[in-house]
Amino acid sequence: MTSSKNGNPASCERGVLTVLSGPSGVGKGTVCSALRKMSAGLVYSVSATTRAPRPDEVEGVNYFFKSREQFQQLIDRDELLEWAEYAGNYYGTPRRFVEETLNSGKDIILELEVQGALKVKRKFPEGVFIFLLPPSLDELRNRSRGTETEEVIRSGITEAVNELKLIEHFDYAVVGDRVELACSRIQSIITAEHCRKEKVFPKIRPWLDEVRS
């Protein structure tokens, strides 16, 4: 990886926002966790929540803990890239944390469900949106066996099929057949995004203008 991807502000290059999504049970969390270990400079987005902190959780590391009133203010001020309610608590992605991380030259990754990822795309279209695919629907079904009832599995597969139909809204598709291989592919995507001409031109424009004159 380049020095900018390791978070070197001296490069003056803005980081890349990567959003990893896919159906429930596809292994987003496993891939994201492995990717962070393989990519020391990659920042994992910290969510805001109204859930009470657990004893081992740290403010600003695990979550930004907010009261319901504070969270509502974030919604009203459009300071969240996405948000949702789960089990009576709100969760969301603060725009400021993402922007500050990118402006420091660091890459940041969000792990989101499909609908959350699409919400981010509407507000942050310059991000890189990756859809993690299962090797097959049978494999996705097998991963749930032993932990879920057949009824839950059938419901999950139906939802997964509906989410797979939304893949056209994503920039890249990565098959999660092997964790290390999936991570390598995602690393390659991030590297390629740093090589886009829009990112390279500002660094070479002075001498490029001289060549063109």
Q: Is residue 59 in a domain?
A: no
The answer to whether residue 66 sits within a structural domain is no
pLDDT level of residue 145 (50, 70, 90 thresholds):
low
Give the contacts of 146 (CB within 8 A, at least 6 positions apart): none
CA gap 67, 90 in Å, rounded: 10
Q: What is the pLDDT of residues 34-71, one digit of tens each?
A: 999 999 899 999 999 999 999 999 999 999 999 999 99
Which pLDDT value is given to residue 139?
A: 81
- Residue 17 confidence (pLDDT) above 50: yes
CATH number of the structural domain spanning residue 157: 3.40.50.300
- What 191-194 contacts at long range (C-beta under 8 Å, 24+ apart), as own/partner pairs, is 191/1, 191/2, 191/5, 193/16, 193/18, 193/128, 194/2, 194/4, 194/5, 194/13, 194/16
Would you say residue 194 lies in a domain?
A: yes
Q: Is residue 70 part of a domain?
A: no
* Cα 20 to Cα 172: distance, rounded to the nearest angstrom: 10
> Is residue 83 in a domain?
no
Give me the domain span that covers residue 144: 4-45+106-212
The percent of residues above 90 in pLDDT, for the chain, comes to 71
| Predicted TM-score (pTM) of this structure | 0.84
What is the number of structural domains in the chain?
1
Is beta strand 47-49 parallel, antiparallel or unpaired with respect to 89-94?
Answer: antiparallel
Give residue-wise pLDDT tens across range 79-102. 999 999 999 999 999 999 999 999
Between CA 91 and CA 97, with CA 93 as vertex, the angle to 5 degrees is: 135
For residue 81, give the 3-state DSSP assignment.
Answer: strand
> Has residue 57 been placed in a domain?
no
Residue 204 DSSP code:
H
**pLDDT 10s digits, 155-201:** 778 888 899 999 999 999 999 999 999 999 999 999 999 999 888 87
Find how far residue 114's CA is from the centre of its chain: 11
Question: Does some domain include residue 95?
Answer: no
